[in-house]
Amino acid sequence: MAVGVFDSGLGGLTVLAALQRRLPDQAFVYFGDNAHTPYGVRDADDIFALTCAGTSRLFDEGCDLVILACNTASAAALKRMQETWVPEGKRVLGVFVPLIEALTERQWGDNSPPREVAVKHVALFATPATVSSRAFQRELAFRAIGVDVEAQPCGGLVDAIEAGDMILAEALVQSHVDALRRRMPMPEAAVLGCTHYPLMEDAFRAALGPDVAVFSQPDLVAASLQDYLERRPEMRGTGQVSRYLTTGDARAVSSRATQFLRRGIAFEPA
């Protein structure tokens, strides 16, 4: 049985790796829309159309549940998809909520009113589209009050990561952290609000310093999915074999994915 994992490119592989570690017997189908990456500079309608197309392909692969392992898609498309598009019997989930639950120290499914939490000053690093959507702040407001969020749009960072230019990516991380600190000099926590960014987590930690707690998504999403599937085993899907699909050049994407995950990954054309 297979669960779908969708991303605009390679960033969702960080989530997939965590899912596979936690759920080693679960089959997954990964869809990377590498031909259209990055999503973070696109408008909401474009992101919605591309995300629906990729999710539909995963439904065709027998995935009854699809995880949007892309913060931009989760921010700009998920709510609209759930309200107007997702077929009966299918589910599409995003990656924001597990992160916010960890940040606010709430258990999965805790629907009690928002309350004050220990962390008061949070830095959000995300794509321009995620920042402009304010989806993170909206979801946070359902769970916590009195939290000041300063969002930094990290233009160019996804492009550098996808291109494998880690020197440029590290320089961009430092630049974006410096820009954020000019507006929020002393954040208590930092949220890496793009699934590409865990590939640069060490650079973020170095730039932010030891006093800032860094929240990254892959392990949090994996724990949340495990809990979800234990309660909803029928959503494991009908596919039996893990596959990797891409709208880009399969050979080039496979090479880059193998470099990222340090194990052989063979993509096929979507």
Whether 70 is catalytic is: yes
Q: Which of 52, 63, 70, 154 is catalytic?
A: 70
Q: Which of 86, 95, 39 lies closest to 67, judged by CA?
A: 95
**Cα angle: 110, vertex 115, 116; to 5 degrees:** 130
Q: Which of 52, 63, 154, 194 is catalytic?
A: 194
Q: 68 CB contacts (<8 Å, ≥6 apart)?
A: 6, 7, 51, 55, 74, 77, 78, 92, 93, 94, 95
The Cβ-side half-sphere exposure at 253, using a 13 Å CA radius, reads 26
**CB-based contact 223:22 (threshold 8 Å):** yes
Radius of gyration of the chain (CA): 18
Whether 154 is catalytic is: no
For residue 217 the two structure tokens come to 């998504």
Q: Is the dihedral of CA 103, 106, 112, 118 positive or negative?
A: negative
Q: Which residues are annotated as catalytic?
A: 70, 194
